[in-house]
Amino acid sequence: MKSHFTFHVSRQEGGVRVIAGRAKGRKLKQVPGEGTRPIMDRVKESLFNVLGADVVGTRWLDLFAGTGQVGIEALSRGAREVVFVDVAYAAIRVVKENLRTTGLTAEARVLQMDAFAFLQQPQGTPFDVIYVAPPQYMGLWLQVMGVLGERPLTYLTLTGIVVVQIDPKEHAELDGLPFTLYDRRRYGNTQLNFYGIGAEWLVGRGNYQSPASPLPSGKASGSIPTPLSTNYSALSESRRSQW
């Protein structure tokens, strides 16, 4: 089976650096080769401006991790843990080197494996943020959302979000899946989609108050409500597994 991999590398003058937090200014190594999906500094900075201070204490999955720069930025800004997944050995080696450079190894798990194989494994604690940046024009992001949508509360907390990095031409509606698109940001040929578990799906399975939006208050575009900052009653492991 063809491997699914990507490196979300920002190949820009001056190299890739951590923008803010404990490791601010630390230079990150890039993965050799051209098989990359770039994330420029301005896009990364905008992503973390949207999430704001709610990054602190969160648990992340950096899927198709590449250099690991998105997950490393999250750790630098106070995330509790990031799991980095990439099938390419070169990428995994660079992620580990970048974690050592930034002094963030203790809060990270780095796994060399196919993204879909990882998602099929038994999952432990759900993630607050799942970052998805697969190879372009292959429909892989839609496949990932399909897998996540089969058991959303296995992968995401009630107020968790999935951030998808795509080319704007790849955008498609997620018909039949339990996700709501809370925000969409475009920066040239890069687009970030912010998804949370839909309110109707949640309410229909537990009579929980519907979330305004998974994004921090005031961060979502328009009048859409937000996930990370909203408080919900904790679900028992047995109840969540039924969903």
Query: Looking at residue 235, what is its pLDDT?
Result: 32
CA 175 to chain centre: 21
3-state helix, strand and coil shares in percent for the chain, rounded to the nearest 5: 30, 20, 45
Cβ neighbourhood burial of 33 (10 Å; 0-12, 13-18, 19+): exposed
Structural domain contains residue 230: yes
Structural domain contains residue 11: no
Structural domain contains residue 157: yes
Query: Looking at residue 242, what is its pLDDT?
Result: 38
What is the Cα–Cα distance from 154 to 240, expressed in whole angstroms?
Answer: 7
Helix (H) or strand (E) holding 16: strand 16-17
User: Domain span at residue 75?
Assistant: 16-242
Query: Looking at residue 225, what is its pLDDT?
Result: 35
Given a cut of 70, the residues of the chain with pLDDT beneath it are 1-14, 34-38, 206-243
Structural domain contains residue 217: yes
Structural domain contains residue 57: yes
Q: What CATH code is carried by the domain that includes residue 159? A: 3.40.50.150
Query: Looking at residue 70, what is its pLDDT?
Result: 96
DSSP annotation of 179 reads E
Query: Looking at residue 237, what is its pLDDT?
Result: 38
* Domains identified in the chain, total number: 1
Structural domain contains residue 170: yes
β-bridge pairing 156-166 and 127-132: parallel
Structural domain contains residue 7: no
Structural domain contains residue 216: yes
| Beta-carbon contacts of residue 41 (< 8 Å; ≥ 6 apart) | 10, 12, 16, 17, 19
